[in-house]
């Protein structure tokens, strides 16, 4: 499905692939082990906060990546 929606702009597809790989790297073992401590921040384990923050930042960044490319197409 990604192939069909991005056929008009191949650069867009490449950016999304690299962004996905970057997020995947942030969610892999070396980075998760940094946050895997028995410490708490405001009652939440650091590992939960790390996962939640990465997840939210990924969604927001993806939105702006798509929105910026759509607005440049309209001009």
Considering the domain boundaries, does residue 6 fall inside one?
no
Considering the domain boundaries, does residue 37 fall inside one?
yes
3-state secondary structure the chain: CHHHHCCCCHHHHHHHHHHHHHHHHHCCHHHHHHHCCCCEECCEEHHHHHHHHHHHHHHHHHHHHHHHHHHHHHC
Considering the domain boundaries, does residue 52 fall inside one?
yes
Considering the domain boundaries, does residue 56 fall inside one?
yes
Parent domain of 46: 12-74
Per-residue model confidence as pLDDT tens digits over 12-57: 778 888 999 999 999 999 999 998 888 999 999 999 999 999 999 9
**Residues in the chain, total:** 75
pLDDT computed for residue 1 by the predictor: 45
Considering the domain boundaries, does residue 5 fall inside one?
no
How many domains is the chain built from? 1
Considering the domain boundaries, does residue 65 fall inside one?
yes
Considering the domain boundaries, does residue 43 fall inside one?
yes
CA distances from 38 to 33, 34, 41, 45, 61 (A): 11, 11, 10, 7, 29
């Amino acid at each position: 499905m990604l192939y069909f929606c991005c056929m008009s702009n191949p650069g867009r597809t490449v950016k999304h692939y690299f962004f996905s790989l970057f997020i995947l790297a942030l969610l892999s073992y070396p980075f998760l082990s940094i946050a895997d401590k028995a410490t708490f921040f405001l009652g939440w384990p650091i590992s939960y906060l790390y996962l939640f923050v990465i997840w939210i930042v990924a969604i927001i960044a993806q939105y702006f990546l798509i929105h910026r490319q759509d607005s440049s197409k309209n001009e």
